[in-house]
Amino acid sequence: MQAIGKRRWTIAGGRIPLESNGTEPEFTSRDEIAVLNCCDSPARLRIHIHYADRPAVGPYEVEVAARRVRRIRFNDLIFPEALPLHEDFGAVINADIPVVVQFTRLDSGTASRSAVATAAYAERNLQGSGR
């Protein structure tokens, strides 16, 4: 299948919630991205995390297999260092081939869970098929 998506995605409003309620791991509070790779080759992602008051950290390296989807919880990114809970961050995701990225938050630290989803921002001039 042909390449679908773009090679750079960004998220400005990340924050891993502090508390969790509900069954683990399904309802662990988290920020996560879902990545769809429609290509015939694996996608190599390099993620840089930007903070409010200290230098950016990265790259976190993640692979998404050919023709597969993969959820990546920011909680699970631990090398070069784990992301702190409850601290604002932004993420820049660079892929070596076009992918589609969706950003979701699940906040289970309150009586009522609150979930938000939004498309990440796709950088237009790094589009896959235009090259």
Using the 8-state DSSP alphabet, how is residue 84 labeled? P
Kindly tell me which of 66 and 82 has the beta carbon lying closer to a copy of itself: 66
Nearest Cα residue to 95 out of 7, 4, 23: 7
Residue 23 carries which DSSP code?
S
Q: Decide: 75 and 83 in contact? Cβ < 8 Å.
A: yes
Provide the 10 A C-beta neighbour count for residue 82.
13
The C-alpha atoms of residue 93 and residue 59 are separated, in whole angstroms, by 9
Residues 60-79 that bind a copy of itself (CB under 8 A): 67-71
The reply on whether position 5 binds a copy of itself by CB under 8 A is yes
CA distance 121 to 131: 19
Asked if 118 touches a copy of itself (CB under 8 A), the answer is: yes
Stretch touching a copy of itself by CB under 8 A, among 39-47, 52-60, 75-83: 52-60
Query: Which range binds a copy of itself by CB under 8 A, 39-47, 75-83, 89-97?
Result: 89-97
Name the maximum alpha-carbon separation found in the chain: 48
Closest to a copy of itself by CB, 74 or 107 = 107
Q: Does 80 participate in binding a copy of itself (rule CB under 8 A)?
A: no
The site for a copy of itself (CB under 8 A) is made up of 1, 4-5, 8, 10-14, 22, 27, 33-36, 38, 48, 50-53, 55-56, 67-71, 88-90, 92, 100-102, 104-105, 107, 110-125, 127, 129-130
